[in-house]
């Protein structure tokens, strides 16, 4: 029986084939819900918090998930291999990368100030 | 004008989460040659047409991203002169000299941090171990190429906060020119700068973002649009994480495709562009035309392309 991934934010779920990471399973089915970036555990846009279930993490960048966060269940969906049904909350956001009203480019979670050298 | 001063990008040092996966990617997918591993476990690579010992350096770390980028200057005299000017400038911080030999086959390097938080190096010597086809009656390309097989490491695009300071350092001290720029809003705030120290449309580019020391991509040169399309085939064949393309940039006119290494560092392979001369006026793009400026064919901004960095 295949593992199911439940995404709390949008109350949606999809199956995850054995051994696949959660992000790949979502993308293969054409589903949405978790932002897709590098798919390599480096950029952090696919950050999730596992609320329930067993899993293991492949190598993830400490710039995105600290060791303490990892111990609390934070992970990156592209490096998250479920070992049972999982319930997740999506944490990562794709930036609204270009927004003049907020001073040119800005990233998610970062104050949108464009510093000037005076 | 003969090229003097800073000649070209000489190396890029990247952090990867899994060294063997990364080595496989940079050799079998990108198609660089592994030239050496050192006692620290760093792996050194070069592209087939590069004369010097290495151009890409990988090390295993627990974060992805770029450690530093290195610039080849024309002489020891230039190295000393530029080091002195950087030392005297508030724009360059965390200054140090790295001993000759710390990078294999490489002379002393002058290391400094630029206002956007990126670490840069200058050096004047690296042993010429030769390109794959040699220098006496060479064939146009070598046999046994693998993957995309670019001829050289070409440039990086980097994100950081103090774009003004970084552009000032590169233009006023290092002698780069502003080939293209993007400006935004009624004040025409510069949000992107494409800087050239050579005849290329860019040797490095920076985008203003409110964070320090972020890496957007390192790029490698291919010979033709057809090779870019073949790179797209290789990305699917090898199940590599595709970012965007094949397409064309309005900015620099390059024909391009973007993809990620197994640690999430973005790579580009590209062809085309134009030859830049110092008397060419700077090209300016406005934010209302940013779609075609970045992706000329579909003319739309792409959130993942603009916001995913390591
Ligand atoms: S998509 Fe970049 S860390 Fe998962
Ligand atoms: Fe590029």
Return the domain boundaries, chain A: 3-102
B258 flagged as catalytic: yes
User: Is B11 among the catalytic positions?
Assistant: no
pLDDT at B292: 85
> How many Å apart are CA A85 and CA A5, to the nearest integer?
6
Instruction: Give the closest of B64, B168, B266 to A61, CB-based.
Output: B64
What fold does the segment set A3-102 form as a domain? Ubiquitin-like (UB roll) (3.10.20)
Closest ligand by atom to B264 CA: 1
CATH architecture under which domain B154-307 falls: Roll (3.10)
Helix (H, G, I), strand (E, B) or coil at B77: helix
Asked if B263 lies within 8 A of A98 by C-beta distance, the reply is: no
pLDDT tens digits, B30-41: 999 999 999 999
Q: Coil, strand, or helix at residue A71?
A: helix
Marked catalytic residue, from B202, B216, B227, B255: B202
How high does pLDDT run on average in chain B? Answer: 95
Ligand number nearest to the C-alpha of B9:
2
Q: Where in chain B is the domain with CATH 3.10.180.10?
A: 6-123, 154-307
Residue A17 and residue A31: Cα distance in Å, rounded? 14
* pLDDT 10s digits, B212-251: 999 999 999 999 999 999 999 999 999 999 999 999 998 9
CA distance A44 to chain B (A): 8
pLDDT of residue A96: 55
CB atoms within 10 A of CB B105: 17
Domain B6-123 matching CATH 3.10.180.10: the answer reads: yes
pTM of the model: 0.93
Q: How many Cα atoms are found within 13 Å in the side-chain-facing hemisphere of B10? A: 23
Cis amide linkage into residue B75, ω under 30° from 0 = no
What are the angstrom distances between the C-alpha of B49 and each of B31, B152, B203? 12, 6, 17
- Which residues of chain A fall below pLDDT 70? 1, 95-118
Query: What pLDDT, on a 0 to 100 scale, did the predictor assign at position A80?
Result: 98
Q: What is the ipTM of this complex?
A: 0.90
């Amino acid at each position: 029986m295949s593992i199911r991934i439940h995404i709390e934010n949008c109350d949606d779920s999809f199956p995850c084939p054995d051994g696949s990471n959660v992000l790949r399973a979502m993308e293969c089915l054409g589903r949405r819900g978790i932002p897709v970036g590098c798919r390599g555990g480096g950029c952090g846009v696919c950050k999730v918090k596992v609320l329930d279930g067993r899993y293991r993490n492949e190598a993830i960048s400490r710039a995105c998930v600290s060791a303490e966060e990892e111990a609390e269940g934070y992970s990156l969906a592209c490096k998250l291999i479920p070992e049972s049904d999982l319930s997740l909350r999506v944490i990562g956001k794709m930036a609204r990368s270009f927004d003049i009203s907020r001073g040119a480019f800005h990233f998610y979670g970062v104050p949108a100030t464009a510093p000037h050298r005076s | 004008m003969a090229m003097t001063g800073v000649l070209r990008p000489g190396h890029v040092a990247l952090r990867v989460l899994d060294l063997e996966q990364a080595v496989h990617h940079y050799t079998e997918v990108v198609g660089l040659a592994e030239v050496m591993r050192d006692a620290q476990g760093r792996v050194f690579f070069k592209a087939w047409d590069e004369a010097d010992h290495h151009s890409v350096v990988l090390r295993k770390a627990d974060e992805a991203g770029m450690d530093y980028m290195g610039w080849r200057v024309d002489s020891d005299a230039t190295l000393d002169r530029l080091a002195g000017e950087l030392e005297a400038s508030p724009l360059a911080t965390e200054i140090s000299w790295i001993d000759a030999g710390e990078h294999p086959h490489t002379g002393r390097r002058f290391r400094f941090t630029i206002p956007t938080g990126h670490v840069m190096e200058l050096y004047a010597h690296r042993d010429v171990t030769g390109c794959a086809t040699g220098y006496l009656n060479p064939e146009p390309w070598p046999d046994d190429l693998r993957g995309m097989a670019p001829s050289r490491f070409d440039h990086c695009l980097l994100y950081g906060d103090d774009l003004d300071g970084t552009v000032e350092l590169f233009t006023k001290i290092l002698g780069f020119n502003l080939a293209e720029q993007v400006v935004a809003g009624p004040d025409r705030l510069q949000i992107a700068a494409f800087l050239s120290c050579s005849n290329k449309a860019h040797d490095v580019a920076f985008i203003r973002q409110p964070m320090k020391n972020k890496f957007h991509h390192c790029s490698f040169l291919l010979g033709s649009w057809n090779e870019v399309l073949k790179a797209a085939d290789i990305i699917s064949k090898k199940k590599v994480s595709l970012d965007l393309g094949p397409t064309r940039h309005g900015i620099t006119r390059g024909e391009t495709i973007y993809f990620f290494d197994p640690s999430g560092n973005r790579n580009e392979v590209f062809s085309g562009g134009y030859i830049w001369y110092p008397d060419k006026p700077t090209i300016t793009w406005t934010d209302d035309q940013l779609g075609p400026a970045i992706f000329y064919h579909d003319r739309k901004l792409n959130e993942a392309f603009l916001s995913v960095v390591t």
